Structure 1
Amino acid sequence: MGAGTYPRATVLTDGSLLGVYTAFSSGNNIITTIKSIDSGATWTALGTVAQGPTATKDIDNPFVHQLPSGRVLCTFRNHDRLNGAYMFYRITVCYSDDKGASWTYLSTPASDSNPVNGDWEPFLIDALDGSLQLYYSRENAANDQDSLLRRSTDGGLTWSSAQTISGSGITARDGMLGLARIAIGSSTLIAIFESLDPNTGLFTVHSVKSTDDGATWGSRNLVYSPGTGKNAGAPGIALIGNKLIASFGTDEDGGTWSTGSMRVVISSDGGSTWGTKTTIHGVPSLWAGVLDLTESTFLAMYESGGTSYAQKVSF
């Protein structure tokens, strides 16, 4: 895909893929868009969403999403820092009306000036009522982070107040959210996330479900725990045919966490149980994501050695 990290992609209405990742060049963080017309086998450079000097700006965690109108949104973290310390946090949304070639600022759904209250890893999905949902992670303290949801009824221009969907009432560091429906058109959403247990210092992968399109959320369910002394985190999720695919990174096969291998597990019952563990890419893999392509194929994306890759997987 290109030299950089945190690769993500979406399928546009014309059948092409719009990809995005964070590049680093000449002392800058650059949110970079790319295009594929062969299901991710090859990619061409397209545009720049945003950029800033690495010394004073932390621009990363990009995610692209096409609205029913055809407009494309890109959301990302857009933080200020001074001498290596974070001073201000924000989630930014930009838009493109030319399929990702050029970009314009749209809104700032979330921001925090307290150095301990970071906002991270935004994710966009359309609600069944035509509104837009933004999910992201917000720190309460160094050892405590929740998963939040905001809604927009005007294409991402303005946003509701935040609703907590995981992490309320417990001390744990929930983060790196991904969302999918358990079936096409279903009102049941499943959110997947990593969680750091402050008692063990280890990451595991969990999920919560909503049966009313995000209005209310149920209790936590364990998706994957790698066992004693090992980590699993940075998950993604996609609906492939009638199955859910959950991806994650793990140091079970080696690597110094958060570096590890990219694995997937499969659920045939809407995310209640998971199995059929498969390694997609070995060590090193970082910040993986998954995108549904057909009822039997998906795109696995990951960074390895400073380069972002896309790999088509059939099952």
Structure 2
Amino acid sequence: MKNAIEPWGVNVPYIYLSIVMFTLGGLSLFLNNYHGYLMSIGAYSLYFGMIQRLFFPAKKYIYTQLLALFSLAIPFSHYFQALASVFLIITEIWALKDVKKYGSKFPINYLVLSSPFASFISWLFFVNYWMLVIPIFIYILGVNIGVFAATLNAKPFFGYKQIPVLVLTVLSYFFKIFFPLTLIVYFSMLFSRRIKPNLTSFSVVVISLGLALSAIFLHEYIHAFYLGSMATFFFSCITYSTARYNHDKVFYSVILLVPAYFLRFINLDVSAVFFPLSFLLFLYLIKDNLGITGIKTGMSKKFLIK
């Protein structure tokens, strides 16, 4: 019973994996054609780490958690990432069975819970990098409902109410115009009442929607997603959940993603500087989680000191 409820910092090794993959992916932009593959693994490292940290962080699941980590880290074939998704699914099902057994109840977040299955399908049948966008898109929309509710007084929606957003997200793979449309519908459902001011969360809304709409005219959707939606949503959510005292400073990190996107159409070398700067600032904001204490307890050492 103790192992079933005792958490650990499962997200921390995944964050280190993302650092490695983003670094290799950035270098490969100028050296070889593995840029998209390595950067995708970096993005999925953040995703795998945080879904387990927030929804099934118990030490009881450490074997499948580590198997997912090691499989995800093998950059030789997309089948390894598909295998990692299988271990993630096993962990999720295991955790859900435990929740049911212990009699716990919580709102059903179909967006979050369906994302590991979408990850498995996308990696197994991988044909293009836009396919890999969909599982992360599904997840970040689901997990950030809570962040927007807490920071902007958004109206959370769960269960069957999430189905329209889930369908639109899947349609985004077949028709890219549904990518910005999904965000419009999502934010419309969230902000159906008066919001309270929060610069970081408001900037996430504006930047993600702005870059998605810009992609319609610039015809560059994949970086509009990864820079405008994936990075902004992840930086905000991860900081809020692990280092909330620094969440207001995430604004400076996400604002750097705007020139990272638009300057790529003018000078790719210059634009390539801004994502690393944004990512390094994000890492600085969550640095208290990245040590031994963070791995052991799953908490920032700053929280423990207090």
TM (normalized to structure 1)? 0.30
Higher helix content, 1 or 2: 2
Ranked by relative contact order (alpha carbons within 8 Å, sequence separation 6 or more), the top structure is: 2
Higher strand content, 1 or 2: 1
